[in-house]
Amino acid sequence: MIGLTLAEIAAAVGGEVDGPPGSAETVVSAPAFVDSRLVESGGLFVAIAGEHVDGHEYAEKAFAGGAAAVLGSRATGVPMVIAEDTVAALGRLTRYVADRLTGTTVLAITGSQGKTGTKDYLAQVLAAAGPTVATAGNFNNEIGVPLTVLRAKTETRYLVVEMGARGIGHLSYLCELVPPDVSVVINVGTAHLGEFGSREAIALAKGELVEALTVDGVAVINADDPMTAAMAARTRGRVSTFGGTPDATVSWRDATLDDLGRPRFTLVHDGQTAEVALRLVGEHQVPNAAAAAAAALAAGLPLDDVAASLSTATATSRWRMEIHELRDDVVLINDSYNANPTSMKAAIEALRVVGERRGTRTVAVLGEMKELGADSDAEHAGVGRAAAAAGVDHLLVVGPPAVPIADGAAAEPDWQGVATRVETRDEALAWLRKNVAAGDVVLVKASRAAALETVAAGLVEERST
């Protein structure tokens, strides 16, 4: 974070300085944070009064641990700025800092699926060109976006901000906090369909990202997704497209997969080509990498440099298509961080490819997909049908809400596989410990709330070499 005194912060957020004498001169020079267990020395502890936890109760602990000061809504006895609404004040501080990052290119990313993977690719590509700050994990809401921006300093050349939306107007608000120079919309899918009600509503919300651009900005949109491609009419900025069609500004050709399902392809831009060999698993990584490439090219990077950086990029967000080569030649694909119908099917396809190339049995450990609303059962059944079509040998379905996955697979008359239903994660791990055989390829995937990463971790511990 750029160095600011509490007096400057108070003026920026419309608050008042509180604390011992001299508090107004206290300088905050490190990032803001909300978890008192993860203190940023010299940083700003943001005390949020939530439904279950009140951050103000941990202000003294954060200060004792090295925080310079606190931003909150009531006095805590330590140097702080008091504002009526902590989250709103955090937003105002974010805009104040963003306006001072005059040498920084801001790249914002949204999409129904793939935005975190694209963000991770883009951050690594840009980091090879200059100091880069990017969203950690999926800190992409009205709290996470400010925490990302407040990590930037005047020397930051690129700021990559993942933005999520739970409703109409959310992205407009986030773009008010940190106006983008490059806006990337990956796709419009069915994730959060239960909250929005329709894909049309999702598209309306996602398009706010390109509407926020000035005439000097660049909108990077998916040429292969009609709802995303239509957003070209909603921006004042220049439009750059990515996709498998040769007409896209950035496209790819000759995509193949190696024995672990890692893609190789030729990246094409403006008549030039460059070879890319990704380290991450799944054919769905190709459009994510192409989106990152289009954004980096919009920011001025050369094609060859972009391709080289993509080829060295690794998974920086945990539990996303992580490959673990375990004892007895067992391969685990841990994609347990989150799930929606599209990403489930993409992961299943990656499982199919790896199993086919290795000539071994495939096991899919699948749990619930959240936020699908009235279509939940139908969408889960669709995933089961996709697993059957992919020839998955054994489906291990975890938890009652995921049962339609097993039903969908079992309803396919040509499927030769077996579906097993278990109630809990412990039962799932026990089944895997007993039944996974040498050479098996195992996929673990579900929405975040299902916490299937514990199942993956247990299998890794069991079969680590």
pLDDT (tens digit, 9 = 90+) per residue, 119-137? 999 999 999 999 999 999 7
Looking at 32, 52, 85, the residue that finishes a domain is 85
Task: Look at residue 367 and tell me if it is in a domain.
Answer: yes
Same structural domain for residues 140 and 176? yes
Domain housing 328: 322-463
| pLDDT score, position 259 | 85
pLDDT tens digits for range 232-287: 999 999 999 999 999 999 999 999 999 888 999 999 999 999 999 999 998 999 99
Q: Provide the angle, in degrees to the nearest 10, between the axes of the packed helices 86-98 and 170-177.
A: 50
| pLDDT score, position 371 | 86
| pLDDT score, position 429 | 97
pLDDT tens digits for range 269-279: 999 999 999 99
Average pLDDT, the chain: 95
pLDDT tens digits for range 195-226: 777 989 999 999 999 999 999 999 999 999 99
Q: Domain of 108: which CATH number?
A: 3.40.1190.10
Residue 315 has pLDDT above 90, yes or no: no
Cβ atoms 4, 11 nearer than 8 A: no
pLDDT tens digits for range 155-180: 999 999 999 998 999 999 999 999 99
The rounded distance, in Å, linking the Cα atoms of 167 and 196 is 6
Task: Look at residue 95 and tell me if it is in a domain.
Answer: no
Helix H or strand E segment including 318 = none
Same structural domain for residues 208 and 107? yes
Residue 72 has pLDDT above 80, yes or no: yes
pLDDT tens digits for range 317-374: 788 888 999 999 999 999 999 999 999 999 999 999 999 999 999 999 999 999 898 9
CB-based contacts of 412, cutoff 8 Å, min separation 6: 384, 385, 388, 389
| pLDDT score, position 192 | 65
Task: Look at residue 93 and tell me if it is in a domain.
Answer: no
CB-based contacts of 213, cutoff 8 Å, min separation 6: 180, 181, 183, 219, 235, 236, 237
Q: In the numeric block, which tokens belong to residue 312?
A: 């060295």
Q: Provide the angle, in degrees to the nearest 10, between the axes of the packed helices 285-298 and 303-312.
A: 140
Number of domains comprising the chain: 3
| pLDDT score, position 197 | 78
CB-based contacts of 172, cutoff 8 Å, min separation 6: 208, 211, 212
Same structural domain for residues 113 and 20? no
Same structural domain for residues 348 and 387? yes
Q: Which residues of 357-368 are buried (b: 16+ CB within 10 A; e: fewer)?
A: ebebbbbbbbbb
